[in-house]
Amino acid sequence: MNKRIVSVLLVLFVVLFSVSTTFTGHFLQEATLDEAPLKGETFLVERVIDGDTLVIEGGERVRLLGIDTPETGQHLFSEATSILKELVEGKLVRLEKDITDRDKYDRLLRYIHINGMFVNTELLKHGMASTLFYEPDIRYQEEFLQAEALAREAGLGVWAFPAGDFCLGIFRLHYNARGDDNDNLNDEYVTFRNKCFHPISLDGLLLKDHANASFSFPDIMLANKSTVTLHTGSGKDSATDLFWGKTRAVWNNNGDSLTIWHKGEQLLQHTYQGFLKSNPK
């Protein structure tokens, strides 16, 4: 064969091999990026507790990172809870960890994804949550703040109400004391939480149940992000525990309502169904 022809063929072979190798490498690189496993593990959501807390298979409780939804009794508590239920209850979700594994209540701290949707951001975008950051868990801080800002500017969800309406909430209502309620009055209690980043005064707040039993809060300050528990029985008031001084149980195990008023305006309202007396304690 003519040496010139052989040389041309060799050059063409080298060029084609180089192009092919470059293309294949680029394709494989893109495929690797596209098919890289997502962070986190997949779990089935057994039930939703509220707008930012749920239970996965095995009974582990999970607290959504970076957000805070309305507490029991506050505006939009039911709506935020219902939206999270619609999004994840009974479905497989991917849990993504930041730095801290668990909070002081032993709940897993996670970001939640489902079918390409970032659930934490979705709640913020619709005004069903506000941002809540604790370092070092700030991986999505910028993204969350942007989503919150859009909801605030549009006046969606919690941003349609005065900011002060979302400070005091019901953290826990323990209406069924151990044993006979009337013999264990201080195990019947309501825990309130100040979810704001500033202290609030409880002076002037009036609590009532369905039967109009009432309790006037003393003039105390509830520190930011802290709780105070109101026990039905007697004791010495402190910064963390208050006592109603009742001689019989107040909260009905079969269902009752709790409202808190401030200067004639309803601040909190919560109704619960309770259970039948035949149920074990």
Q: Find out whether 190 and 232 touch, Cβ atoms under 8 Å.
A: no
Q: Which residues on adjacent β-strands are paired with residue 194?
A: 168
Give the active site residue among 94, 96, 107, 188. Answer: 107
**107 is annotated as an active-site residue:** yes
Which residue is listed with tokens 């497989």? 92
Q: Which residues on adjacent β-strands are paired with residue 72?
A: 170
**172 is annotated as an active-site residue:** no
Contacts with 278 (C-beta within 8 Å, 6 or more apart), sequence order: none
Q: Find out whether 130 and 196 touch, Cβ atoms under 8 Å.
A: no
Q: Find out whether 111 and 120 touch, Cβ atoms under 8 Å.
A: yes
Q: Which alpha helices (DSSP H) does the chain contain, by range?
A: 3-35, 77-88, 119-125, 141-154
**63 is annotated as an active-site residue:** yes
Give the active site residue among 46, 60, 63, 79. Answer: 63
Exposure of 121 in the CB half-sphere (CA atoms within 13 A): 15
Q: Find out whether 107 and 53 touch, Cβ atoms under 8 Å.
A: yes
Catalytic residue positions? 63, 71, 107
